[in-house]
Amino acid sequence: MAPRRRRRPWYRTRAYRLTRTLAVAVALVVGGVWWAGDDEPAGTVASGAVRDDGAASRAPAGHASDARPGGPARGPDHPSPPAGRAAGKPPDPLPRSRAASLRIPSLGVDAPVIGLRLDRGHRLTAPPVDDPKPVGWYSDGPTPGERGTALVVGHRDTRTGPAVFAPLERIRPGARVEARRVDGRTAVYTVYAVRTYAKAHFPDQEVYGNRGRAELRLITCGGAYDRGTGYAANLIAFARLTEVRERPGTR
């Protein structure tokens, strides 16, 4: 009789590694929200409360004696306005209304949005690892079109194959991201930079710093993949609000 095959421990399964990798990303997200400062709703996250449950722990940026930034942060670059749009005043920020769906037409992404909140350990939860379709919007941060830095997290893959943000590695400056709100309006953002950062050297201020306007970050895993430790980096698309589409019948 052939020897009975031992079942792989839960902590060595691919699903666990993917969840742990995304947990690193969302822990960085919550730390960045605290750093972002004045544009974020009060009480978003408690100082010093965020811990990464992966291999390395990480407290929120600006914890302890670090001062908050005194003015708008420099972005990763300062490009010209998107093609087809003249330089000028951006749309006014919108009042609060939660996200219903997210579209990236150039990538064929059309995803439902689920709200992400903090767990009892004050860590941001991730979208379900067994569902590749939705993206997660940090509910206690800005909603689509609000002033501040809105945060969207999506899986790159799951144990069953590619997930919603698998195409994100192909996104380029100029791409449009359409966030439909439950009030019927659509906040349209334009990507102005795409960066990959090693998780060990994640630049909180560059990614999450206060820019004094409505912005969006799309976040997923990136870099090399290791079966033992997961992905080594985070891929982030930086976008700013460039258009607001009113719901039909309001004009």
Using one digit for the tens of pLDDT, what is the confidence trace for 103-135?
999 999 999 999 998 788 776 678 888 889 999
Q: 2-11, 51-60, 147-156: lowest mean pLDDT where? A: 51-60
Regarding predicted confidence, which is higher, 222 or 46? 222
Mean pLDDT value across the chain = 74
Phi then psi for residue 42, to 5 deg, are -65, 145
Tokens describing residue 100: 């219903």
Q: How confident is the model at residue 201 (pLDDT cuts 50, 70, 90)?
A: confident
Round to whole Å and give the CA distance between 93 and 203: 26
What integer pLDDT is reported at residue 220 of this predicted model? 92
Paired with 157 in beta bridges are 162
Instruction: Determine the average pLDDT of the residues in 43-55.
Output: 27
Concatenated DSSP letters of 197-223: EEGGG--HHHHH---SSEEEEEEEEEE
Indicate the residue type of 139: S
Confidence of residue 15 (pLDDT cuts 50, 70, 90): low
Separation of alpha carbons 220 and 206, rounded Å: 17
Do the Cβ atoms of 91 and 242 come closer than 8 Å?
yes
pTM of the model: 0.70
Q: Which domains does the chain have, with CATH numbers?
A: 10-61+97-245 (2.40.260.10)
pLDDT digits (tens, 9 = 90+) for 74-97: 455 444 444 444 456 889 999 999
Q: Is the pLDDT of residue 229 over 80?
A: yes
Q: What tokens does 42 get?
A: 């009060």
What are the respective helix, strand and coil percentages of the chain, to the nearest 5?
A: 20, 30, 50
Tally of CB atoms within 10 A around 207: 25
Can you give the pLDDT at residue 171?
Answer: 97
Collapse the DSSP code of 39 into the 3-class scheme (helix H, G, I; strand E, B; otherwise coil) and give the result.
helix
pLDDT in tens, 19-39: 666 665 555 544 544 443 333
- 153: nearest Cα among 17, 25, 18, 21: 25
The pLDDT assigned to 8 comes to 60
SS3 243: strand
Q: Tokens 């965020």 label which residue? A: 50
Residue 44: what pLDDT?
A: 34
Residue 2's pLDDT is 56
C-alpha to C-alpha distance for 35 and 191, rounded to whole angstroms: 22
- On the CB side of 51, CA atoms within 13 Å amount to 7
Instruction: Specify the 3-state DSSP secondary structure of 187.
Output: strand
User: Does 48 have pLDDT greater than 50?
Assistant: no
